[in-house]
Amino acid sequence: MPHIVVEYTDNLRDETDVRELLVQMNGVFIARPETFPVGGIRSRAIALTDYVVADGTADDAFVHTQIRIGAGRSEEEKKDVCDALFHVMEDYFKDLFSERYLALSLELYEFPVSGTYKKNNIHERYNRV
């Protein structure tokens, strides 16, 4: 963990490079390795083809990000990372935001300790001395 899931309306596909947004979002977590081990970071984007924004009469767009983390971080750590991630989103879409109707949102989900199963050998690459 963490996992980043960016859902975006496909009318943004030709106007943005969503992979670059994912790279920048991963960077927020990479900058906090003591809180979020690098080997656990996953990000993905899902282009939505079936959606209606507001009353559906305009070419409105949205980008919604879900952050999923394991339990154990303080409220300050969670607020810090969410503030930084939303800042990345705002900065990344600032030009589009000034040119078209666009809604940005972000939410954090924290998994409980029980009910989460993980197996990951990627951590080994980052823990070598």
Task: Tell me how far apart the alpha carbons of residues 24 and 6 are, in angstroms, rounded to a whole number.
Answer: 12
Q: How many CA atoms lie within 13 A of 25 on its CB side?
A: 28
DSSP H/E element including 91: helix 75-92
Indicate the pairing of strand 102-111 with strand 42-48.
unpaired
From the list 2, 33, 37, 112, the catalytic residue is: 2
Tell me if residue 112 is catalytic: no
Residue 92: how many CB atoms within 10 A of its CB? Answer: 19
Q: Confirm if 53 and 62 have CB atoms less than 8 A apart.
A: yes
DSSP H/E element including 102: strand 102-111
| Catalytic annotation, residues | 2
